[in-house]
Amino acid sequence: MMMLVNCSGCRTPLQLPPGAGSIRCAVCQAITQIAEPRAVPPPPNTGAPHPSHHVAPPPPSPYSHAPPGLPPSPHGRKKAVICGISYKFSRHELKGCINDAKCMRFLLINKFQFPADSILMLTEEETDPYRTPTKHNIRMAMYWLVNGCQPGDSLVFHFSGHGSRQRNYNGDEVDGYDETLCPVDFETQGMIVDDEINTAIVRPLPRGVKLHAIIDSCHSGTVLDLPFLCRMNRSGQYVWEDHRPRSGVWKGSNGGEVISISGCDDDQTSADTAALSQITSTGAMTYCFIQAIERGQASTYGSMLNSMRSAIRNVGNGGGTGGIAGGGIVTSLLTMLVSGGSVVGGGLRQEPQLTACEPFDVYMKPFSL
């Protein structure tokens, strides 16, 4: 059984193969040496041998090769982590986030041929304690997502839940704030800050690996801390803003391609609403993302972003989005989900954002997962 050890450099959890005496961290490249178990000599002058003690191994990893808690083993080149958090029975409760998670899983399997057992679901409906969306479990899931990735891999990280931001004091944020994701236990364990997300799933990616982050939460525009943001106006014209920190620290990948599609700008909030699907509550961004794909409006990143923004803007203007017109594999799934929820009053005021490691022509680059 593989053991879990913390990197001696950045403290990232690492899976130690059986019999290995050291391991190199994919995040910071530090080498962690594993101490050999050794007996402790008996104390002097006791007249009796002291029981031998051994260095205790770390607790079994939930990501070891033994159930329960076994994450999906990737088959082929596609892996995904999907987090949907409702914060049930709290004052922060959301109605649509678990629906978002189910729909995203359905989309990845049926539209983009992700193997079902290569998708790790983290929601409050999961019975496995290692798959509840706690801060620790989300951290471990992010590590699992990028661990062992090879050129040709396609990875997806989807999060639907609360997001926030907090004052940044080291000067590496253009707007002076760090963006955050809120795990189900954020009130006791704290939030996951963009710097940590960047370190966990962006910086380790080698050339040839592709990662898409789909983040449906408030203040999520630059939550992966990627160096460039696509600033697009309502006419579809765009420029790439340089968000590289003044310190010169590189927040991009190790050569891999990383693109984040988020629900709103850093200073905006994202809606949890029934106004879009007219069936059940969903995250507005997740619904519009899926709808753009199903309606053939996501051939490029630019066409997708325009389609998503138009759908949300039409609701905000009282024009509606046509509900489930046009059908589709996921909107048909929505009809089978039963959930409460109400329309957000006053329309939706959010603009989905696109960030990336490197600028590109959004109207020429084909979209695919």
Is there a contact between 321 and 311 (Cβ–Cβ < 8 Å)? yes
Distances in Å between the alpha carbon of 244 and those of 67, 153, 349, 356? Answer: 42, 26, 27, 11
Sign of the torsion formed by the C-alpha atoms of 120, 124, 127 and 132: positive
Just list the catalytic residues: 162, 218
Query: Beta strands 192-193 and 177-181: pairing type?
Result: antiparallel
Distances in Å between the alpha carbon of 274 and those of 17, 97, 303, 334? Answer: 47, 12, 24, 11
What is the rounded CA–CA span in Å between residue 103 and residue 281? Answer: 12
